[in-house]
Amino acid sequence: MSTSTNYSKNVILLPQTNQLIGLYSIIRDQSTRRGDFVFYSDRIIRLLVEEGLNQLPVQKTIIKCHGNHEYEGAKFLGKICGVSIVRAGESMEMGLRDCCRSVRIGKILIQRDEETALPKLFYEKLPEDISERYVFLLDPMLATGGSAMMAVQVLLARGVQADRIFFLNLLAAPEGIQTFQNKYPEVKIITGGIDQKLNDDKFIVPGLGDFGDRYYGI
């Protein structure tokens, strides 16, 4: 795996601990059964969400504890929501809900146009007040970055500030990161792994296969 040192400060790579490398070793293995793939992918997704929450601004606040003792704590500033890029991004919604009770979830459907081979927006359903929120954009894989960049374009058109968007993914290709950052440098990318490259078919190498197919068993 690569590190994030070659990228801007807005590319955040999870610490490559033995635990995380072990989790990726399981989900990368083509012989891993679907149940295990889902279980260990969900663990990684939870780590990504936790890191996303670490990036949110907080305000110092004094808490009254039992016995009238005081504690200098913190509270989050602003509301958040999740936006999944359908279909694979929906696999990350539960990880967000596990960390944030009653979180609002929006959806964006982007598919490849067979005539132009370019991503095309087919559907969007977003919270009405999304412009006032911090947005966790959810998609497991950052390959070419085409779908993610179109999703960001949709969010910006709805009034979301670029520096309030956090793009969470399990795996990213260097080419996709560079393209994405060149267009949207203020958006934070939070990823669990940066792989070697894209191959000629635009698949991440070594990758883990088609995430959506493996997660949903299709």
What are residue 120's DSSP bridge partners?
111
What beta strand segments (E) does 65-127 contain? 70-76, 79-86, 104-112, 119-125
What are residue 106's DSSP bridge partners?
83
Tell me which H or E stretch contains 59: strand 58-64
42 is catalytic: no
- Residue showing tokens 């509270």: 75
What is the C-alpha separation between 3 and 195, in angstroms, rounded?
9
Instruction: Specify burial of residue 22 (Cβ count, 10 A radius: 0-12, 13-18, 19+).
Output: exposed
What is the C-alpha separation between 19 and 205, in angstroms, rounded?
21
| Catalytic one of 34, 61, 112, 113 | 112
Tell me: cis bond preceding 206? Omega within 30 of 0 counts.
yes
What are residue 113's DSSP bridge partners?
none
104 is catalytic: no
| Catalytic one of 5, 116, 200, 201 | 116
116 is catalytic: yes
| Catalytic one of 113, 129, 163, 213 | 213
Tell me which H or E stretch contains 44: helix 34-54
210 is catalytic: yes
> What tokens were used for 109?
């459907």
Catalytic positions are: 112, 116, 210, 213
